[in-house]
Structure 1
Amino acid sequence: MKRYFARKLFIYMLTFFFAVTIDWLIPRFMPGNPVQNLLARAALRAEAAEVMYGYFTRAFGLDVPIWQQYLNFWNALFHGDLGISVYLFPQPVIKIIMRAVPYDIFLLLPAVLLSWIAGNKFGAFAA
């Protein structure tokens, strides 16, 4: 029984590791530069854009080597820091997620209740 749980725990941890790694890799394989996209929305003059490019590159941690970015990502993740939103700069990602939680719960509760009622009705009908 211990081997079974140890094996399951290992599989879950491995799956978590690969899922988080893929989540980290996706933005790095996307075409374009998130800092340039952010500056394009701001419509700055050329001189200001160069200064802001350096600022945002440092703010998002893109000025360090890729392996250091990966280690920084894991460190921040284990400390509960999801970072700063690129799209809604300078808002923390956790605030954006927390704003959406009530709407998610509002959709989740009726869906769970409706599926429970329908499942019990169909199950009783089938029996």
Structure 2
Amino acid sequence: MFWWLARRLGQMALVLFGVVSLAFLLVYAVPADPAATLAGPNASAETIASIRAQLGLDAPLWEQYLGFIGRLLSGDLGTSYVLRETSVFERIVSALPTTVLVAIGGLIWQIVLGVPAGIYAAYRRGGWVDRTVTFVSLIGLSAPSFWLGLLLIYYFAFSWGLFPLNGLGDPIIWYLVLPTFTLGSGGGAWYARMTRTNMIETLDSPFVRMARAKGMPERTILWRHCFRHVAIPLVTMIGLDFGYFLGGVVIVETVFGLNGIGRLAFDAISNLDTPMIVGTVLFSALFIVVVNFIVDLLYSVIDPRVRLQRA
């Protein structure tokens, strides 16, 4: 396990370095000038040149890259071009709680909506419940997040006044219902289909037929034995989704006016705010690789065979 952990940590470091380097280079590949964007459309060439000198954009690309890597290794993500004298790290940390709340809420909706529906549909396969779950899942997978979010805002917030229109307030859970449901509905549909498929395969396996032949209760077969086999792919998807959500869900945070990391990244891209773009990309990649690492550790807890392979 020691060498496995060392190898995984090394892989995580290489992935983060590659993602950050690629993000930095791709930002400079965009045919636009951040200094001109900050100066405005009516700025003179002298003003733009002065801003470029202040931001250090007049230096060669390799020099800017080495300076960025040096600052990054010392824990400095730089200062935002748009939010002057504002540390990128502090700004991202301040936006993180909103994204965490939305991510947890969306994940809860996915699990609550998808997993029980998939299990019941598999157990009653071929019946009207199975057909209904399959049809609703198809609709959930096909509905774009921005369309669903705007629809929920119009009816449940604007027309009927049941929920707040946007932002966060008190009680905070009331403000999170619509955005988290929007975030989790598509994933819930995917979880239902995946759980149904894996559960059907497990229910048709020989050990289930043997358990039924011995008179084991259906509830015990379903939850203690079958669900354990479905848990590994389910944990994988939950981990991947949670890491993705923590990286910032741009559409949901923008539609509902939430000042999370996704909204921060969207504004940074719109303003060509290079330090903020790279900072949000770094945090997104960090969340994903860390959550994947935790998921790998959970495999050993769920399935002892995985632990034996790594020993």
CA RMSD of aligned residues (A): 2.7
* 1:91–1:106 Cα change, 3 Å: farther
Q: CA deviation at 1:12?
A: 1.9
Q: Which residue of 1 aligns with 2:84?
A: 90
Q: Which residue of 1 aligns with 2:63?
A: 68
Unaligned runs of 5+ in 1: none
What is the distance in 2 between the residues matched to 1:22 and 1:36? 23
Q: Which residue of 1 aligns with 2:129?
A: none
Q: CA deviation at 1:95?
A: 4.6
Amino acid at match of 1:94: F
Q: Which residue of 2 aligns with 1:106?
A: 101
What is the distance in 2 between the residues matched to 1:102 and 1:2? 33
* 1:61–1:2 Cα change, 3 Å: same
Does the 8 A contact of 1:60 with 1:84 survive in 2? no
1:8 aligns with 2:8: yes
Query: After alignment, is 102-111 or 117-126 more displaced?
Result: 117-126
What is the distance in 1 between the residues matched to 2:114 and 2:67? 45
What is the distance in 2 between the residues matched to 1:38 and 1:118? 45
User: 1:6-45 counterparts in 2 under 5 A?
Assistant: 6-41=6-41, 43-44=42-43
Q: Which residue of 1 aligns with 2:74?
A: 79
Describe the superposition over 1:41-65 as per-residue Cα deviations: whole angstroms up to 9, x where unpaired.
5x34x3xx51x33432233221322
What is the distance in 2 between the residues matched to 1:10 and 1:109? 28
Does the 8 A contact of 2:39 with 2:51 survive in 1? no
* 1:101–1:2 Cα change, 3 Å: closer
What is the distance in 2 between the residues matched to 1:106 and 1:9? 27
Higher relative contact order (CA 8 A, sep 6+): 2
Unaligned runs of 5+ in 2: 124-221, 223-311
Q: CA deviation at 1:96?
A: 3.9
TM-score (norm 2): 0.34
Q: CA deviation at 1:99?
A: 4.6
Does the 8 A contact of 2:35 with 2:51 survive in 1? yes
TM-score (norm 1): 0.72
Query: Which structure: larger Rg?
Result: 2
Does the 8 A contact of 2:39 with 2:48 survive in 1? yes
Q: CA deviation at 1:79?
A: 3.0
Identity %: 28
